[in-house]
Structure 1
């Protein structure tokens, strides 16, 4: 399943219709008809996303949103309200209460699923950062986040200069942050500057239809703006543009005809989320750089890896989602050192590490735990997907020889991988050390059976 979603609506046909759409996206959907039931269900098993009717029998959706956000573990869980009459004033009230948006009913399935995917990705990123910080805190390296927040920079990229200036003037009456109006060329130039904007508000149509979405994709590809918050202005009737914007990485949408207060609230929410993510990212990077990073490969070391897998295991026990553990070893590494020297051996270690890291998901963990041995953990992964990932890594390492430093020569390199899986739901009792031992024994079998292959622990087969 792709994540847990809670749907609260007193109208049974609405609940069933929405659940049917979401289940086609492989989401695990729970339903209720009252706000009190929603609060109780969220308390018992916090969801990843909440859909709520704007009016429930026992309280408005805005009040439910506020109470959900006050519950432990629910502060960052996104809430979407649903209404057949999506008025501008209702959207402002919903945003002020902490909701992400008000979705019009009946739903446009294309736009609905794109919005769901976008929020789920953001939630997954937040959780991964929080999990890394929790690991660092367990290791005793976490520092208190600074209270001071530097002034944010906001860039408006409008379809015309006049529209940009008018929008900036309206926005300056609502927020205190500096607002710059840019054209397409200026937006790209600012993206490569020393201090790029924190938030971009972009018209979907600039000089030509689709320019705004192309700019969005470009900004997401650049290091300086990869983590910027991006809000796209588009027409509610253009469901394809809405879906494309969200799937390309837009953090939020503004529908044509919005009020300045709505834009101000969306910017406030996006800036708060970006600041939290930036602080988490900086905290993790700074705290771990010397303490838990292997200096040769830039991967995590053994100390971090074992602590982080414990965090993954704890989450797996709560959610019932499997995770995979892999141990990889460079085949005949001693022969490489003996033939080409230790500098060549270091180059091989660094290149193998890079290929492993570059070909796993952002939420996966790769560590060098000693010599030529690497440990990988893949959360929320089925046994089939884990095996496919392991075999892909083997093939990627073997495909291209590694260039040796100070010469025109290269050497062929292969790895062997042992794979072990945590239990499925209801069978998550295997201790982490036992799981790693099973992966180690599977690795030994891969070596014994000829190297350059994946062996799966029998409990994972």
Structure 2
């Protein structure tokens, strides 16, 4: 996962150190030595994340952050303040200015890379949601952007999963008036409560006596109902390895107890506000395109939407030098399903097939019904090898579990053939060529015996 990172610091040595370390991880790094230069760079360049020094001459980091978050064109760019300041009021001030996180000088390398990876994933998801909103044209996106910070007049609903009543009592005192806190002391029951409830944020203990907290996080991220639920990891000690792994699994933030009440409430409000914004984008997208660009049988986007949106994704991939892969899959011998079980049985198979595709991909991936029994998955920021692995996982999931038909629960075996193609940016490949390449790979998979994957790299 690559990204363009803007590092802002008035100390050349600090710039060089961060530049070197991030470049080693294959990030593209741009630098600026003051706030004005940073804001100018953000106007001219596509930036995925900003590492921002606080103490700078002229415009300080707090004001730069406020300007970034006040501008609709840059407000979604994650900002990490890198500072030598250790006063709690400075951290709270930064969070109120819109900072997504803090790193303290000298920067811990593991925390730096873990934070960057986590926030880049968040930026990718936000970009995809906004692109889909723009594709539909009739969504009042600017109104949504103006109102994103107005949500939250009602106290947030927060779930705490922690074995200790003392931790619950402590957080209850901290959040009094800002949130309604719900407590579950068993981690397995906590996952179920999160899936069944309507929470704005979950706080997960890192210190269960006999249960892996990373397992709780992975389960929450694997369920449809909780995939986008903000998660804050709460730990008794600074465990860099655990925290880094948790961030990779999708944790949004972490705190080490004892926590400062003002800082924690500011962090919680950031997560709740961000969730309201993303929920609003999803809601607007869903409502606006339901009739025009949604397949009525499966609930997936249809070919009309794909034809429009794929052009945007290809253009963005070329412009930013990002990988883009596309998968076409076809249900094997689908005519025989219709002939044997009727069109009602065929419709059930199509609906279940679509459901399995949805469950196996990321939130940023686009799943469409291409026509008949053909489906397309577009995977932004996905290189050829990863796309082939995803396709094989999908093929196995379809073939491994029979499809149920009707109330009698009759089961039939279903397999699928899959063709995968990756965009050739060097050749300036078009969306039409990418689909043609994937379709050729699908034809080879079917000709080669079906129930298989054929991949065409760029």
Structure 1: distance between partners of 2:272 and 2:323:
34
- 2:200 aligns with 198
Instruction: Between 448-457 and 361-370, report the one with greater CA deviation.
Output: 448-457
- 1:188 aligns with 190
Structure 1: distance between partners of 2:15 and 2:131:
32
Kept in 2, the 8 Å contact 1:300–1:366? The answer is yes
Q: How much does 1:276 deviate?
A: 0.5
Instruction: Between 326-335 and 385-394, report the one with greater CA deviation.
Output: 385-394
Change (3 A) 1:442 1:220: closer
- 2:156 aligns with 153
Kept in 2, the 8 Å contact 1:152–1:197? The answer is no
Q: Normalising by the residue count of structure 1, what TM-score does the alignment of the two structures yield?
A: 0.83
Instruction: Between 295-304 and 147-156, report the one with greater CA deviation.
Output: 147-156
- 1:272 aligns with 273
SS in structure 1 at match of 2:55? coil
Structure 2: distance between partners of 1:349 and 1:219:
27
Structure 2: distance between partners of 1:223 and 1:413:
24
- 1:436 aligns with 435
Change (3 A) 1:333 1:73: same
SS in structure 1 at match of 2:296? coil
Within 5 Å, give how 1:267-346 maps onto structure 2: 267-346=268-347
Instruction: Between 108-117 and 252-261, report the one with greater CA deviation.
Output: 252-261
Kept in 1, the 8 Å contact 2:206–2:233? The answer is yes
Q: How much does 1:122 deviate?
A: 1.9
Larger radius of gyration, structure 1 or 2?
A: 1
Q: How much does 1:235 deviate?
A: 5.2
Kept in 1, the 8 Å contact 2:174–2:261? The answer is yes
- 1:97 aligns with 97
Structure 2: distance between partners of 1:162 and 1:454:
53
Change (3 A) 1:33 1:264: same
SS in structure 2 at match of 1:2? coil
Within 5 Å, give how 1:197-216 maps onto structure 2: 197-201=199-203, 204-205=206-207, 208=209
Q: Normalising by the residue count of structure 2, what TM-score does the alignment of the two structures yield?
A: 0.83
Structure 2: distance between partners of 1:297 and 1:256:
46
Deviation string 1:230-274 (CA, Å, 9 cap, x unpaired) is 333435643234324434433222343543221222222222111
Change (3 A) 1:98 1:109: same
Kept in 1, the 8 Å contact 2:217–2:251? The answer is yes
Change (3 A) 1:280 1:434: same
Change (3 A) 1:423 1:50: same
Kept in 2, the 8 Å contact 1:108–1:239? The answer is no
Structure 2: distance between partners of 1:31 and 1:260:
34
Change (3 A) 1:439 1:226: closer
CA RMSD of aligned residues (A): 3.5
How many positions carry a matched residue from both structures? 451
Q: How much does 1:156 deviate?
A: 7.3
Q: How much does 1:421 deviate?
A: 3.1
Structure 1: segments with no counterpart, 5+ residues: none
Deviation string 1:103-154 (CA, Å, 9 cap, x unpaired) is 112222222222222212222222222222223x33x466975877561334
Deviation string 1:333-379 (CA, Å, 9 cap, x unpaired) is 22332344333333332333333333333322221122122222121
